Structure 1
Amino acid sequence: MKERLDLAEIPREKKISKNDFLERYVKPQKPVVIEHLIDDWPAYKKWNIDYIRKVAGEKTVPLFDGRKNISSEYKFNEPHLHMKMAEYLDLLEQGPTSYRIFLYHLLREVPALQKDFEYPKVGLRLLKQIPMLFFGGENSKVFMHYDIDLANILHFHFHGSKRCILFPPSQTKYLYKVPHALIAREDIDFTEPDFEKFPALKKAKGMVTELQHGETLYMPEGYWHQMTYLTPGFSMSLRAAPRNLPHLSKALYNLFFMRHFDNLMRQWKGQKWIDYKNRQALEKTNDRDKVS
């Protein structure tokens, strides 16, 4: 039998009070799926691919192709292609595609969509900036990463289903983190990992769930996450600044130094810089694993 990652199911709550959410999940920094948090949102009934095509089909959107992320040709979070939203949604419905929309301000481009949601009263000081949307087609994957601002995240999924794998920050030492970046090595398939090449993954202990339309995933500060769209669909995230002071310091470092340093090195060294970082991720993690 083929070995798999050590993944426990993420706990689920039908509904939950603010106090219980804070005490059970936010304070101990544990993820949870809340199944009926947004049933009263207009978005719960309205938001699907056909509706987005109707209200935003003519918008030009940035696309990311996961197959190209290891190239030095692109800067941090730089899109690989642009396309009309209607054309992209047609592409999603035609079959599997690696193209995704990542961190897109659709609600700013189509202000009417902002009336379809509200900020949940769950005890988090959610940032009131316009939230971003994420789209993916069947079998498209979001590489394993953690967010640059180490925020507490409420992640709402719409249209179809999406598999989410999470690891707490304590498991970073096993995940082949790339230096000067927020990602694990992108040649790792976290759905079927190569344990011969990446043996430290055997020790990593994570969590998994499948999100359905209208469900909310709470991801605590600095949690690693990898997403696989099992069907075409899209998600929206709301964020709250990290409550942990070291996490806040690290977030400021990431925002104001790390990403700019990495982009500078990409420009100066090109592919050699990318290859060097990937070698370091492999060698240091495997060396650390042998010692432990």
Structure 2
Amino acid sequence: MAASGSAEGASDGAALWAEVRALLPRAEEGLTLALSGEVEDCVLPLLLRARTLLYGAAGRPGAGAAAALERLSDVLRDYSWEKLNAGPWREVGKAWRQVYAYGCLFGALAEVAAGRPLARAVRLCDLGLLMGAAILDNVLSRLARALQPHLPRAAPSGGARAERLRLQPPPPALQPQEVIPHLRCPSLERFRDCYLIPQRPVVLEGVMDHWPCMKKWSVDYFCQVAGCRTVPVELGARYTDEEWSQQLMTVSDFISQYIMDEKNVGYLAQHQLFDQIPELKEDISIPDYCCLGEGEEDDITINAWFGPGGTISPLHQDPQQNFLAQVFGRKYIRLYSPQDSENLYPHESQILHNTSQVDVEDPDLVKFPNFKKATFQSCILMPGQILFIPVKYWHYVRSLELSFSVSFWWS
């Protein structure tokens, strides 16, 4: 019986390796190692050696080759990690990010070749997607997607039930003169002429009714589709708090620690989630109104915002037009025109220059007396609604309950 189980495991491992191997070029020379910039001379021989180990065996690499590939992966990741953290992120060369991605790829493949549990292989793919640069037609995303079905399924979380215990202060009463106008499925021309060109906020209704996410997405769905995936999580109610920090963790850990546990506050605010997990991207659509912009569709940045009630985005402004689409949960949102910037007391530091010092719902009018001169518009954004936030418009957002939003930044 034991021999039969061993043979079955070996067969499963060979089948998985064949599936994974099919994601790579067939010939060794096809796995190009061209880098977008210069790296130190010692790096390319390491990449070439790893490639040879990967392609040296007719089938799945043996234990010795898998161990050697793992060691090379460790060296490549450790060496490029130092380069990634040597200065400001914007100054990191793309070539070093590619080296890091290759290190993650070779490490993940070594895990599969060695027949180990796949959680670490998927984590390496995610680290390469988050910190590296795209390689080989986004192979890390395709590899993670291939490995996911072979991981144990996350158990239903019960997160929505726990969330009911997290009571939040009600939003301020909306005054008629302050309410952002609502419009149902306007034509492209009407949206352009009445809202985009004059830069007027509006809540759009009916635009996302057909998106699959409106029927599919829930806490349990995220556990099943993305529970094993590693993502960056913001810890704390708002990013201006002193105790605010960021941490990498799996989606399952985030849900258990920050959705189910009402004592903790954390937020999954992710700028790469839909590239990292294409299954989720297939459940949403880019609003047609984005075609009125100057950029291409590939220039649109899609962000995910998932967290419990009580999380807050302090009053801030962004350099692009924004469609904020609410999938589930409700959010209280307040908008101020860029013309009121002086009355909103932006931080003087360069890093927070786009963020107000004022606590919108509890302002210190002694310290910030001109804040009362600023006029605003507000809304409770409901599931199925999309808020158009014009470029440079100041916006404050508070989640009233467990909430998932998707924002589209476009020019």
Q: Which TM-score applies when normalising by structure 2?
A: 0.52
Instruction: Return the match for 1:119 from 286, 289, 299.
Output: 286
Structure 2 CA distance for partners of 1:172 and 1:98, relative to 1, 3 Å: farther
Higher helix share: 2
Alignment of 1:163-242 (within 5 A): 163-179=332-348, 180=350, 181-185=353-357, 188-241=358-411
2:278 is aligned with 1:107: no
| SS of aligned partner of 2:220 | helix
Query: How much does 1:101 deviate?
Result: 1.9
Residues in 2 aligned to 1:231 and 1:157: alpha-carbon distance in whole angstroms: 12
Q: Deviations over 1:115-142 (max 9, x none)?
A: 2122222243364246221122111111
Question: Is 1:69 matched with 2:244?
Answer: no
C-alpha distance in structure 2 between counterparts of 1:110 and 1:200, whole Å: 45
Match of 2:93 in 1: none
The aligned amino acid for 1:214 is G
Contact kept, 8 Å, 2:231 with 2:270, in 1: the verdict is no
The answer to which structure has the higher strand fraction is 1
Q: Identify the match of residue 31 of structure 1 among 201, 204, 222.
A: 201
Larger radius of gyration: 2
CA distance in 2, matches of 1:158, 1:117: 10
Matches of 2:215 and 2:263, distance apart in 1: 25
Query: Residues 144 and 34 of structure 1: is their aligned pair in 2 closer, same or farther, counting only changes over 3 Å?
Result: same
Change (3 A) 1:112 1:130: farther
Taking the aligned partners of 1:137 and 1:100, their CA distance within structure 2 comes to 7
CA RMSD, aligned part only?
A: 2.5
In structure 2, the residue matched to 1:85 is 251
Q: SS where residue 131 of structure 1 aligns?
A: strand
> Which of 105, 114, 131 lines up with 2:302 in the alignment?
131
Q: Is the 8 A contact 2:305 2:406 kept in 1?
A: yes
What do the CA deviations read for 1:154-185 (whole angstroms, capped 9, x no partner)? 11112110111111110101111112221111
Instruction: Tell me, in whole angstroms, the C-alpha distance in 2 between the residues paired with 1:61 and 1:203.
Output: 41
Q: For the Cα contact (< 8 Å) 1:48–1:158, is it kept in 2?
A: no
- Matched letter for residue 146 of structure 1: Q
Which runs of structure 1 show a deviation greater than 6 angstroms over 4 or more consecutive aligned residues?
Answer: 3-7
- Residues 151 and 49 from structure 1, CA distance in 2 versus in 1: closer, same or farther, beyond 3 angstroms? same
Match of 1:162 among 331, 347, 362: 331
- The higher-RCO structure (CA 8 Å, 6+ apart) is 1
Aligned length: 230
SS in 2 for 1:19: helix
Is contact 1:4–1:192 with CA below 8 Å preserved after alignment? no
Structure 1 pair 151/18, CA: closer, same or farther in 2 (3 Å)? Answer: same
Q: Distance in 1 between matches of 2:260 and 2:205?
A: 26
- State the shift of 1:203 in Å: 0.3
Distance of 2:249 and 2:364 partners within structure 1: 35
Q: Contact 1:93–1:232 at 8 Å: present in 2 too?
A: no
Aligned to 1:94: 261
Q: Structure 2: which 5+ runs fail to align?
A: 1-171
1:5/1:205 contact within 8 Å kept: no
Write the distance in 2 (CA, Å) between the matches of 1:124 and 1:207: 24
Q: Deviations over 1:38-92 (max 9, x none)?
A: 1111122212222222211111221222466355x99xxxx52222211222322
Higher mean C-alpha displacement, 166-175 vs 131-140:
131-140
Q: Indicate conservation of the 8 Å contact 1:62/1:104, yes or no.
A: no
CA spacing shift, 1:113–1:67, aligned 2, 3 Å: closer
**3-state DSSP of counterpart to 2:260:** helix
Match of 1:51 among 196, 221, 227: 221
